[in-house]
Structure 1
Amino acid sequence: MNTTTPSPSPSAARPNDGTAVRIGVLAPLTPPGWAEAGQHLLSGLELAAHDVNAAGGIAGRPLELVVRDTAADPEKAAAAVDELADQGVAALVGEYHSVVARAAATLAEALGLPYLCSSAVLDALTEQPTEWVARLSPPQSRGWRVYADHLLAAGHRRIAVATQPSVYWATGTRVLRDHFAAHGGTVVELDMTRLTPDAVCDALRDEHATALLLLVGHPEPAVPIVKAVRRDPRLAGVLLGAPAGQPEFASWATALGADGAAIPFLRYLPERLTPLGTRVEADLRARLAAAPSFVAFEGYDTIVVLADALRAGGTDRAAIAASWPRVSVEGTRGPISFSRAPGIGVRQWTWAPIQVVDRDPAEPDRFRVLRTG
């Protein structure tokens, strides 16, 4: 496995006879996966496929999405990748959870199946550089450094992180710790396998932390931790944060109401959507009966990119993978092209937009942009 261009594989080709171009889709659609994120991702993918087909498809052939629920389970995702590869899909797209996406990327590379990752940010999506995998979402190291800069600019030098066992949370903690240390700051880790929400409050007081970041699952234990901190008068000045984006979705506001406001998180939207993005936003809002999250736009852009690759190189799997460096297309959030980012083994949309935002305490359904990067 290396970075050389894959050779075409005739077995993956399909005739230009109007038969569908089948695309495998991975998304967390049931618990313990973050099903709300999965539904937004799938809505974006489906809307884009509809739009591609309405415009004539791929050389007259419609796109067909073959959807598999990962439920945030790497083993379930790997089984789905095997199944989809055997069914002859031209490419694989999707996934929200980083650990699941890593399992999918590893197997897709081994099978010679091109994979365009929509929404997972873990830097080490593959163990070594590969040409088979490309990614739209920014790497975790970049986004979380932007988040750390926001905290540092606000005067925070001693923060705590409530964590659960996961390579994603561990990697995020390391990014924060290294960045804070470089600026004279400190990160204290609170292990949520041992602590109750009330015990977290005691630890925050004892450690004199000025901020607590929720590197934990939603709704459990994130929601109980927020409620405990908010009701503890000793912690009135402590900032709550959620870099992984839990407050983006409506279920957060439903569960926490006003307590869920003023909690900064990362999202991957630009200051202004492109004209395409403005139109897509309205269509997604109608599909979801709610404001679309950045994950829905990532889903739409995934199909925009893949359609560009298919039109350029056809449906041969190796030709699709070889097209990543040549992609140049206008997405909903800006022009998209891929390059080699330092330390990242996959083809990466290097300058995907990053924002630190929160919900406005005066109007929790409105988001405030606090920083861009």
Structure 2
Amino acid sequence: MTNTNQSTEPLFQTFNSDNLVLENRTVMAPMTRGYSPDNIPDQNVADYYRRRAENGVGLIVTEGTGINHPASVSGASIPVFHGEKALEGWSNVVKQVHDAGGKIVPQLWHVGMTRSKGDLPNEEALPVGPSGLSLDGEPVTEPLTEQEISELVEAYAQGAADAKRLGFDGIEIHGAHGYLIDQFFWANTNRRTDRYGGDLVGRTQFAVEIVKACRREVGPDFPIIFRFSQWKMNDFKAKLAETPGELERFLQPLVEAGVDIFHCSTRRFWEAEFEGSDLNLAGWTKKLTGKPVISVGSVGLDGEFTNFSGANTTSLDGLVEKLDQEEFDLVAIGRSLLMDPEWVRKVREGQENDLLPFDKEALQKLY
């Protein structure tokens, strides 16, 4: 075992929760790549994930993968998580990562109303959402019926069952950034008056049913990670919860449904979530639920992800301090790992001067 750089030691302590053990606290954040021809992850994708496992990433969360619904993704090169060929591709990804000593979970995804009419791979499929509204609140399609909602819930459950069957180490459910599940959470896109709408707690019902259905399929010992955010793709200042009390009411139904770990998506991990406390969103989530949490947001870089022109490397001291104070349990690294598959190893060995700045060219290649 390589000696750990003392200044980053908290990043390289073992993580041990009820049903997940990781060699360190680093997580590869899910990042859409669009390099899966005909929606099938090929050997290039498997090699891309293997390189991160070989270099010591504690847990890999895959890019978003479409559940078994015709409108789950936009584009013919976004991977899906259903169908014999796609699942064979993911089985190879799992094998490659495990052979390299890593652990990996798929992120189960449906883009909802962010999909445009006529998008591939199913041009005839209409975008779907709780009220048929775009993120800007404009009507696009009819609201989902309760029967259609039930079918979507079961599609997530099928994905969870397949993940376990293929040997993944858990699942992550994508409930953030204005995609389908988040469209149910957000009052701007959920105007329903049935049990899937109403107040903030009522708007969690769809997610609650998904988590319960996934738990039913995978049993009590298979980790379920749930990713959520306050911000949306069209509104970086959006809030599901304006206060800690509201956040607690929002999270409690998800805890009771069976979420093991919360992945709390922010644009900048160092920013306080509410006035009067230095805790970020992950810190508040851990304090309110007692569950392990993943923090994320511009780790190791001086520019946030909304500026894809590039970003320089920066000190990890603030991150390590928060981790050492147990504000959060795990740290998801996005663009730094997109650019440099050796990022975790370099940090561990004290080679910060060798870390690569983020360049937009990384979006055009599977490094």
Structure with higher strand content = 1
Say which structure, 1 or 2, has more relative contact order (CA 8 Å, 6+ apart): 1
TM-score (norm 1): 0.27
Q: What is the TM-score with the length of structure 2 in the denominator?
A: 0.28
Pick the structure with greater CA Rg. 1
Q: Which has the higher helix share?
A: 1
